Amino acid sequence: MAKKRQITDIESEFKQSKEFEILTDFEKSEVADVFETIADTTSDDYSDYTKWDADFIVALVFSLFDQLGNSTAQDATRAIVIYDILKAVLRFLASKNKLQIPLFELNQLFNLIDSELSLNSFQRIREPNYQDPALPGWRRYVANDITNYMGEWIDAYVESSDWAKRPKGVTEDFLSSLMFSMTEYVYNIYRKTPKTWTKTALNGVMENEFITNMDLEDEDYRLIVPAMSAFIDFVAENGWINAQKAANYKRYLAAGEEKMIEASHDDTKAGPAKLVYKEMERQGVDIDNDEEVEKFIQNLNENGGIDSLLPDDEPNKARNFTDGELAAILTDKATLESFSQAVDPDFETNFLGDHHLVELDNKKWSVKQAKAVHLQGIKDGIKMWLGRDRDKYELPAGIDVVSLVGTVAELEDTLYSQHLQTPKEWTPATWREFGQWARDNQSKGRNKEATKLFTSVIRIQADNKRISPQKANQLLFAMRGEDNNIISLDDARKKK
């Protein structure tokens, strides 16, 4: 009789895998708990993971959320944590051909499950793109804790008799969105929890993030302070914050209300997502129609991208970082790693997941090297933007710093994932293939702008002495599809 393969049998092996390395947001104890939870959940008939197919995986995930669907916000958050870790475990098993479904189909299945469950409706504070090194460190366990108790406070309020006395027009969805947004922004930007909010933090979020990132009608903005104030009264009545603190919070909110409403009428303050959404509304694009949305995004990119939606006197305002912030990113590894999520939020899926070679010419792909290449790409992009040598790097017209850094990092990621070459190992053959791909897949105008950036990416490798000027010449001409590799790099830059 064949031996059953229990999920707990592969826990040690999983913790040595690249899939486990990607779970940087989670404590080791959380991972161990998931193995135990899944083992307890699966029946005897399906305790052998080699029998798991698409139908079983769907049933397993939905049963998990069904059990917690009507419970507290803390349980809902835990369901998402379990699901995130479960996905990594299943990807590991699929990569070893130990499931009844291949890895490619498994990833498609996860996309369908995510869509069906509408997981974006579950609240979980996202780690910020940029972290001020002057603030205390951002901690996942703190973020989860404040998410949990804020959710429990909202649940209690909605179920109480006070809910009937709420300001007219306040719905549960509106209050939840408002309070979770405030909780997230104040913790991420000011590192303050709902029990330690300050006037600076509350007013800062009201006058900036609520305007930049929330798409509300004028009457909704006028509901924010009354809705939050009534909720704070309820929280104080239950002793979760003291009465004096509640009074202070309400006073701070009232003090910032008019500036927030005034700012809400200024379209130049809108962030990228809000700008795009408003433009789609203006053009009558059906946001539920994938073809219409895809066509809109394609047209937007061909006409200058998000910057084209800003007034001419407000270039890049929505996505700027100060030179001081960028310099701080370069000097602090933790901040650099956090900032990398701003420019490539799908990095772990794209380049630490499936889309890379495993081995080529006796060289093996590794998580450690992939991360090193990615972070070096982030640095290269920032350095192109900063400093006294900034003018010598040609950049695409109108590009902002986040797009620049993201594009440079993605380019260096791609050359490693598809050729297993770090910048110092780049070859003319690799760049010839890459340049030809760009010419074949981009319009003439877009390729001209891309060539400027490719030239600068090659140049900065020579400037940082990762490659010699002679090799930079060879790579440059190979990228352009030219044979001559004698002309200097500076002369080559001037060629149109």
Task: State yes or no: pLDDT of 202 exceeds 60.
Answer: yes
Instruction: Mean pLDDT check: name the lowest of 52-56, 77-81, 297-301.
Output: 297-301
CB atoms within 10 A of CB 66: 11
For the four alpha carbons of 182, 326, 407 and 274, in that order, the dihedral sign comes to: positive
Task: State yes or no: pLDDT of 194 exceeds 90.
Answer: yes
Task: State yes or no: pLDDT of 38 exceeds 80.
Answer: yes
* Predicted pLDDT of residue 304: 60
* Predicted pLDDT of residue 441: 66
CA distance 482 to 189: 49
Three-class SS of residue 49? helix
Of 34, 23, 142, which Cα lies nearest the Cα of 78? 34
Task: State yes or no: pLDDT of 82 exceeds 70.
Answer: yes
* Predicted pLDDT of residue 383: 85
CA distance 302 to 68: 45
Contact 481, 493 (CB under 8 A): no
Q: What is the pLDDT of residues 174-186, one digit of tens each?
A: 898 899 889 998 9
Amino acid at 89: V
Q: Cβ neighbours of residue 285 under 8 Å, at least 6 residues apart?
A: 292, 293, 296
Q: What percent of the chain has pLDDT over 90?
A: 18
Q: What is the pLDDT of residues 83-94, one digit of tens each?
A: 888 888 998 999
Q: What is the pLDDT of residues 265-287, one digit of tens each?
A: 765 555 455 556 666 767 777 76
Q: What mean pLDDT do residues 431-456 have?
A: 78
Q: What is the pLDDT of residues 386-423, one digit of tens each?
A: 755 566 788 877 777 777 888 898 889 889 988 899 99
* Predicted pLDDT of residue 256: 93
Task: State yes or no: pLDDT of 314 exceeds 80.
Answer: no
Task: State yes or no: pLDDT of 335 exceeds 90.
Answer: no
CA distance 74 to 234: 20
Pair of tokens at residue 472: 């930079």
CA distance 476 to 430: 11
Q: What is the pTM of this model?
A: 0.42
List phi, psi (to 5°) of 488. -75, 160
Contact 463, 389 (CB under 8 A): yes
Pair of tokens at residue 428: 């003319």
For the four alpha carbons of 181, 138, 142 and 348, in that order, the dihedral sign comes to: positive
Q: What is the pLDDT of residues 5-19, one digit of tens each?
A: 788 889 889 988 888
* Predicted pLDDT of residue 167: 93
Pair of tokens at residue 109: 């299945």
Contact 306, 270 (CB under 8 A): no
CA distance 145 to 138: 13
Task: State yes or no: pLDDT of 308 exceeds 90.
Answer: no
CA distance 485 to 423: 19
Task: State yes or no: pLDDT of 318 exceeds 60.
Answer: no
CA–CA distance from 233 to each of 157, 237, 244 (Å)?
10, 6, 11
CA distance 253 to 248: 9
Task: State yes or no: pLDDT of 355 exceeds 90.
Answer: no
* Predicted pLDDT of residue 361: 82
CA distance 365 to 377: 17
Quote the mean pLDDT of the chain.
78
Instruction: Mean pLDDT check: name the lowest of 45-49, 98-102, 461-465, 472-476.
Output: 45-49
Confidence of residue 354 (pLDDT cuts 50, 70, 90): low
Which H or E run includes 120? none
Q: Cβ neighbours of residue 257 under 8 Å, at least 6 residues apart?
A: 206, 224, 225
Q: What mean pLDDT do residues 41-52 have?
A: 78
Cα–Cα–Cα angle for 403, 405, 406, rounded to 5 degrees: 60
Contact 141, 27 (CB under 8 A): yes
Q: What mean pLDDT do residues 44-71 have?
A: 78
Q: Residue-wise over 87-103: b if at least 16 C-beta within 10 A, else e? A: bbbbbbbbbeeebebeb
CA–CA distance from 96 to each of 10, 89, 90, 178 (Å)?
11, 11, 10, 44
Task: State yes or no: pLDDT of 435 exceeds 60.
Answer: yes
Pair of tokens at residue 72: 């507290």
Q: What is the pLDDT of residues 464-476, one digit of tens each?
A: 888 888 888 889 8
* Predicted pLDDT of residue 484: 47
Q: What is the pLDDT of residues 130-175, one digit of tens each?
A: 666 677 888 877 888 888 888 889 988 988 999 999 999 898 888 9
